[in-house]
């Protein structure tokens, strides 16, 4: 009873109720144990229960074929299911358990009988909260799919949680591989702070960067931003995040959001080198990405860092099929086998890049992108496979296939399972 009362008191719509009412509600709650991955609520189905989170983390997603949009991440004290319970609407979204946890279930009959009479204002407040949340989630899902409808750029974050795993090399060569498919339509945004060296590694000399645009007025921001982008003769484009270490602090979440909104209108793919450190800017970028690539080397420290990173990405609501794992062999004989990496991370390696000898280091000295200059190198082969994987999910052909699949399901009267 103490635990249930505590959960009710932490919920925004219930904490102001009199103690007697809270105790009555607490007695009517059903405690439900859930496991990570369980689907608690199904989009489109009727419902009559409000679920209060006592322990655990949950993800709310709305399916809008061909995409699946995460509209909220909930934890202790939050609640869901209120729209169906008090507004008599079908479930607006599906809800998944991201971790093991406990829910407290309050059905519609118990809610109305407890809040009858003089407590009616509290019930009305719950209806207003449910209506506001319904509209907010609808707006979020529409905004998140605008990019698909308008064929705006797909944003791919490349995150290497352990230094020395080759994240920058893979980012640069992935951009090269994608640029062979879409010349002039692929951009690398280098946010590997404090040193953003991608342009130099590609043999280009930058004169400006994103950090220097933080104070620009809106009317000139787009023009100056696009003019700072460097063009590589092989097809890719590169925008440095900062030219000096101290400039990294100027790249705020607000600046990143502002820049991405402009860049998505001009490119097919935006690949972002996120470096090794999770900062406020990195977290802001995770919210804007359609796909995240985690790079790990077959070494104990790198695999451990990758496991921690994937746990964080899971907590942030990154869908399983929008996360890819790249295993980059930096030595001839790896310290950890691929099977051991997969057991530790509890998922399969999507792309494995074989040891490429001294080619990556020599390419850096020469200012060359191997996926453009030497397609037979192991780095080039691996990044070409990664480009094909991304294109199958997010490219023009992939979107056509997804749309056709969604249309055929709709015609057949079927409902696809949520991710």
Could you give the CA distance from residue 105 to residue 53 in angstroms, rounded to a whole number? 9
Q: Report whether 250 contacts 212 (CB < 8 A).
A: yes
Over 50: is that where the pLDDT of 147 sits?
no
Q: Which two tokens stand for residue 111?
A: 């809610």
Question: pTM for the complete prediction?
Answer: 0.63
Mean pLDDT of 352-371: 93
Q: How confident is the model at residue 184 (pLDDT cuts 50, 70, 90)?
A: confident
Q: In what order do the strands lie in the sheet with 30-34?
A: 30-34, 101-107, 49-55, 79-80
Q: Tell me the per-residue pLDDT of 240-250, one tens digit each, with 9 for 90 and over.
A: 999 888 888 89
Q: Which two tokens stand for residue 411?
A: 């015609």
**Chain position carrying tokens 């007697």:** 20
145 three-state secondary structure: helix
Could you give the CA distance from residue 371 to residue 162 in angstroms, rounded to a whole number? 23
* pLDDT for residue 173: 95
Q: Tell me the per-residue pLDDT of 262-316, one tens digit each, with 9 for 90 and over.
A: 898 889 999 999 988 777 777 778 778 889 999 999 999 999 999 988 888 877 7
DSSP annotation of 90: P
Q: Which two tokens stand for residue 283?
A: 């977290």
Q: Tell me the per-residue pLDDT of 60-119, one tens digit each, with 9 for 90 and over.
A: 888 766 566 667 777 887 888 887 667 778 888 889 888 899 998 888 777 777 776 545
Q: Which two tokens stand for residue 39?
A: 């689907």
Lowest mean pLDDT among 7-11, 49-53, 127-131: 7-11
Q: Tell me the per-residue pLDDT of 304-350, one tens digit each, with 9 for 90 and over.
A: 999 988 888 877 777 788 899 999 998 888 889 999 999 999 899 99
Q: Give all domains of the chain, ordered by start, each with its CATH number.
A: 2-145 (2.60.120.10), 153-411 (3.40.50.300)
Could you give the CA distance from residue 152 to residue 243 in angstroms, rounded to a whole number? 28
**CB atoms closer than 10 angstroms to residue 332:** 8
DSSP annotation of 210: G
168 three-state secondary structure: helix
Percent of the chain with pLDDT over 70: 84
**CB atoms closer than 10 angstroms to residue 126:** 21
Query: DSSP per residue over 369-408, as a string?
Result: -HHHH-TTSHHHHHHHHHHHHHHHHHSHHHHHHHHHHHHH
136 three-state secondary structure: helix
Q: Report whether 281 contacts 256 (CB < 8 A).
A: yes
Name the packing angle between helices 378-394 and 359-366 (round to 10°). Answer: 80
* pLDDT for residue 385: 96
Q: How confident is the model at residue 362 (pLDDT cuts 50, 70, 90)?
A: very high
């Amino acid at each position: 009873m103490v635990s249930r009362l505590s959960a009710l008191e932490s919920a925004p719509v219930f904490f102001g109720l009199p103690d007697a009412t809270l105790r009555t509600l607490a007695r009517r709650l059903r405690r439900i144990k859930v496991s990570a991955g369980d689907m608690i609520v199904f989009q489109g189905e009727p419902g009559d229960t409000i679920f209060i989170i006592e322990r655990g983390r949950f993800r709310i997603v709305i399916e809008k074929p061909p995409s699946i949009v995460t509209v909220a991440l909930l934890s202790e004290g939050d609640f869901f299911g209120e729209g169906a319970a008090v507004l008599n609407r079908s479930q607006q979204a599906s809800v998944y358990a991201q971790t093991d946890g406990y829910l407290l279930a309050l059905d519609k009959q118990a809610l109305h009988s407890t809040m009858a009479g003089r407590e009616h204002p509290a019930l009305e407040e719950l209806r207003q909260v449910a209506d506001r949340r319904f509209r907010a989630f609808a707006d979020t899902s529409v905004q998140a799919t605008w990019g698909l409808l308008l064929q705006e750029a797909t944003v791919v974050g490349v995150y290497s949680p352990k230094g020395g795993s080759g994240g920058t090399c893979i980012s640069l060569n992935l951009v090269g591989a994608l640029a062979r498919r879409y010349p002039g339509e692929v951009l690398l945004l280098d946010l590997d702070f404090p040193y953003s060296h991608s342009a130099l590694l590609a043999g280009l000399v930058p004169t400006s960067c994103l950090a220097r645009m933080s104070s620009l007025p809106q009317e000139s921001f787009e023009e100056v931003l696009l003019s700072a982008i460097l063009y590589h003769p092989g097809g890719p484009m590169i925008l440095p995040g900062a030219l000096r270490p101290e400039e990294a602090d100027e790249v705020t979440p607000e600046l990143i959001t502002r820049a991405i909104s402009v860049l998505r209108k001009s490119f097919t793919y935006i690949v972002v080198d996120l470096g090794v450190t999770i900062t406020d800017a990195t977290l802001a970028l995770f919210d804007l990405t359609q796909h995240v690539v985690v790079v790990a080397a077959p070494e104990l420290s790198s695999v451990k860092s990758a496991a921690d990173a994937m746990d964080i990405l899971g907590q942030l609501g990154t869908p399983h099929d929008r996360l890819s794992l790249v295993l980059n062999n930096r030595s001839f004989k790896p310290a950890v086998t691929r099977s051991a990496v997969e057991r530790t991370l509890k998922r399969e390696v999507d792309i494995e890049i074989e040891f490429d000898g001294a080619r990556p280091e020599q390419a850096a000295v020469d200012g060359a992108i191997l996926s453009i200059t030497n397609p037979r190198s192991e780095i080039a082969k691996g990044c070409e496979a990664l480009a094909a994987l991304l294109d199958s999910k997010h490219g023009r052909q992939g979107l056509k296939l997804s749309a056709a699949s969604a249309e055929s399901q709709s015609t057949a009267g079927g409902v696809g399972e949520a991710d």
